[in-house]
Amino acid sequence: MSLAHLPPAPLIALRNAHLFAPEDRGVAHLLLGGGRVLWIGARWNDLPADFGVETLDLEGRRLIPGLIDGHVHVTGGGGEAGFRTRVPALPLSRYTGAGITTVIGLLGTDDVARSPRELLATIHALREKGLSAFGYSGGYHLPPATLTGSLRGDLVFLEPLIGVGELAISDHRSSQPTLDELLRVASDAHVAGLMTGKAGVVHLHLGDGERGLELVRQALDQSELPARVFQPTHVNRRRALFGEALALARRGVPMDVTAFPVEEGEDAWSAADAFLRWREAGAPMDRLTVSSDAGGCLPCFDADGRVCGMDVGAPGALLETLAELLARGVPLPEALPVFTSNVARALRLAGKGRVAVGGDADLLCLDEAGGVHHLIARGRVHWRGARPVLAGTFETAGAPA
């Protein structure tokens, strides 16, 4: 990752943290350096002053892994109702101020005016600002938008790209892929993953269509591809679709729910409701993740397919969902994996999603209300004492997120 615009990651001592790694480790002290966690222990001995260690006393506050947002429109989304509805890209502090230290960028409905070049450039820009950023090749439609001319080439030769997505199915905005087309895309992703050690997944946008996850069921029944290659998202947008997701998760398919707003009486589950229903159903908890759809347009359509309203996904939806789960009695160690370790495992992000010696120094210290007190990404302090200290190129460091 390019760090051309940032100084080397310093030595940082985190004292008196109540560490959730995500399991509860009790009160601990940590030493960070070079962007990594160097040491975790129960007793602290002061280091020589010549070491130049910056010390942050967390005073017993909760310290958790930085959140991983697996579905982010880093270039901005939208465009379904004309060019005026294109959502602008979010600035750095919107992510870090929401506790996010890793984002997975993608193209959505607009994979024409929004290009793979723009996506890759934005991923590199976020990396230069200190965030961990990766992305998907392609977009909603087939043939896919690529940089090298093929999905397999993109994944093999472009390091930040770890899979394909968000390929749309069961949606009037999709290119209506057939089973054979889906299998070819999934095969390209899987083989590229084998060649590179990347995730090699197909991140599938699920629309409101009645076909739901039928294509994924057929893919499992009629191919040799591993179930983990198919990673559907938005599966909480219809209650019946969520029921299909529960069944496929038991066959090994990871499922992603979106932390979008849900109105009372709407035929959908909120991300928190989905988590609780997943747990109540006894579905595999390690196959569930939560993402925000940050920067993406959240449109509604009338019977003729015209946009009748829209909202924009917000990075803060992840922390809001975590706070709701805690308020509804879910212990923090049980709630955290869907935002951290489960995402890292599904996307094969080495060093991410856990607080461990040798792992990446991506850490979030929560304040008493569950907001961001300190945020450390790749070993650098981005937020200190609930205030931003690192900002994007075109935003002011002291501005609120």
Fill in the amino acid letter for 125: A
For residue range 165-183, what is the model confidence (pLDDT) as tens digits?
999 999 999 999 999 999 9
Q: Give residue 396's pLDDT.
A: 65
Quick one: average pLDDT of 68-87? 85
Q: Give residue 154's pLDDT.
A: 98
256 in Cβ contact with 289 (< 8 Å): yes
Position 1 pLDDT exceeds 70: no
Among candidate residues 111, 293, 360, 362, the one labeled active-site is: 293
User: Which residues are registered as beta bridge partners of 41?
Assistant: 29
For residue range 116-168, what is the model confidence (pLDDT) as tens digits?
999 999 999 999 999 999 999 999 999 999 999 999 999 999 999 999 999 99
- pLDDT greater at residue 298 or residue 127: 127
Q: Give residue 59's pLDDT.
A: 97
- 293 classed as catalytic: yes
User: Which residues are registered as beta bridge partners of 310?
Assistant: 299
Q: Give residue 7's pLDDT.
A: 73
Cα 50 to its chain centre, rounded Å, is 39
Quick one: average pLDDT of 215-226? 98
Q: Give residue 70's pLDDT.
A: 98
Q: Give residue 164's pLDDT.
A: 98
Q: Give residue 283's pLDDT.
A: 98
Position 306 pLDDT exceeds 80: no
Quick one: average pLDDT of 259-286? 96
Round the average pLDDT of the chain to a whole number and report it.
93
Binding site, annotated residues: 71, 73, 205, 234, 293
Domains of the chain in start order, with CATH, are 12-64+354-388 (2.30.40.10), 65-346 (3.20.20.140)
The band of 210, judged by pLDDT with boundaries at 50, 70 and 90, is very high
Q: What is the pTM of this model?
A: 0.93
- Tell me which residue of 123, 291, 115, 278 sits closest to 203, measured CA to CA: 291
Reading the block at residue 312, the tokens are 């924009």
Position 2 pLDDT exceeds 60: no
% of the chain residues with pLDDT over 90? 83
Quick one: average pLDDT of 95-107? 98
Binding site, annotated residues for Zn(2+): 71, 73, 205, 234, 293
